[in-house]
Structure 1
Amino acid sequence: MAETTNGDARGASEQGAGEATNPQQFTIQKIYLKDSSVETPGAPEVFTQSWKPEARVELNTRRNTVGEGLYEVVLTVTVTATVEERTAYLCEVHQAGLFTVAGFESNATDQLLGAYCPGVLFPYAREAVSDLTGKAGFPPMTLSPVNFDALYARQRQREAASAESADDQETDNPG
């Protein structure tokens, strides 16, 4: 009987030590299409013209705290295709996901939510854009891969430069 108790105590202490050494948790809870739309203001005339569009792609991300360590990240992809300066179509997809992020330092959490999670969502958004544009009667729009780590780093640099410039203005113009 004493062996079982010692074994259970040792197992519980080893489990506690394992949790203490690895408290970080990242889990994809759910990936879902939050919103999507496609507009074809140039139809039907656009279908009678030669198809040589210019496409503009915009990417935006936002995050919301849903609960303790639970975040919703939404990747918005907007594609505007024009032919001869007329809008052929406007396609917008809001691809979302619920992610558990716990036990990370704030910088690491910010990087996960700002770069890694949008990277996870992008293939789903890419597929939705392709499907919607194809169903709208156009050749399916296939988006190029995106380096979200580079976009995140660029955004951080802009924020740092903006904060530095604001600090300089406060120093130059004391109130």
Structure 2
Amino acid sequence: MTDTSAAPVFQIQRVYLKEASLEQPNSPNILLQQEQPALDIQLGVAAEPLAEGVYEVTVTCTVTTKIKDKTLYLVEAKQAGIFEVRNLPQEQLGPILGIACPQIIYPYLRGNVADLIQRGGFPPVHLAEINFQGMYDQQLPREGEAAAAPAPTVQ
């Protein structure tokens, strides 16, 4: 008889919009401006354990649009997913949570951000595709530097 309890498990339990906000702090006066606004987009990924083998992964996006030094609008959104990940080697867990899970969540975030901006009365901003592998690889050296730092000596 084969032991299936050790088979790798990767399942999506739920994908949901955890948080979203739209601010237009300088409306309505700024809406009369004819200048092209400057756009700044920031993304972040986080993962945390919820239970044994169950993780919440979030992708956070902040879109800030300004004309000169005044904010036209600010959108903050956090899309999350709950994933069951079991029976994987420890070295595979990081890439699953930092690359595979965000790739699943991101299309939902893109749609929600575009919809929120459009509902605010602006042309939708379509977030570009993201290379989560590249983002993950950029974070590894920083985490490695912290791990490579000498441990305090206890005497």
TM value normalised by structure 1: 0.81
Give, in whole Å, the separation in 2 of the partners of 1:33 and 1:113: 18
The residue that corresponds to 1:52 in the other structure is 36
Q: Give the C-alpha shift of residue 51 in structure 1.
A: 4.7
The aligned counterpart of 2:86 is 102
Give how far 1:162 is off.
3.8
Specify which structure has the higher proportion of strand.
2
- After superposition, give the CA deviation of every residue in 1:68-124 in whole Å (9 maximum; x if it has no partner): 111111111111111112111110111010101011111211111111111111111
2:71 is the alignment partner of 1:83:
no
- Partner Cα separation in structure 2 for residue 146 and residue 90 of structure 1: 21
**Structure number with higher relative contact order (C-alpha < 8 Å, ≥ 6 residues apart):** 2
Deviates more, 1:48-57 or 1:111-120: 48-57
Structure 2 residue aligned with 1:10: none
Structure 2, unmatched stretches of 5+, are none
Structure 2 SS opposite 1:61: strand
User: Counterpart of 1:144?
Assistant: 128
Per the TM alignment, residue 170 of structure 1 is displaced from its structure 2 partner at its CA by 6.9
1:30 and 1:109 map into 2 onto residues whose CA distance is 19
1:134 counterpart residue number? 118
- How many Å separate the matches in 2 of 1:60 and 1:120? 15
> Which consecutive aligned stretches of 4+ in structure 1 deviate over 4 angstroms post-superposition?
none
Cα distance in 1, alignment partners of residues 69 and 103 from structure 2: 32
Equivalents in 1 of 2:20, 2:147: separation in Å? 35
Residue in structure 2 matching 1:115, options 90, 95, 99 = 99
Q: Equivalent residue of 2:106, what SS?
A: helix
- The number of equivalent residue pairs is 155
Report % sequence identity. 36
Distance 2:52 2:147 in 1: 29
Q: Aligned Cα RMSD in Å?
A: 2.1
- Using a 3 Å threshold, how does the CA distance of structure 1 residues 157 and 108 change in structure 2: closer, same or farther? same
Residue in structure 2 matching 1:68, options 52, 57, 67: 52
- Structure 1: gaps (5+ residues): 1-12
Judging by fraction of residues, say which structure has more helix.
1
Tell me which residue corresponds to 1:92.
76
TM-score using structure 2 length: 0.91
CA–CA distance in structure 2, aligned partners of residues 57 and 27 of structure 1: 30
Distance 2:81 2:146 in 1: 30
Cα deviation 1:11-60 (Å, max 9, x = unaligned)? xx2xx25x27x711101111001110000112112211125111111111
Looking at structure 2, the residues matched to 142 and 51 of structure 1 have their Cα atoms a distance apart, in angstroms, of 20
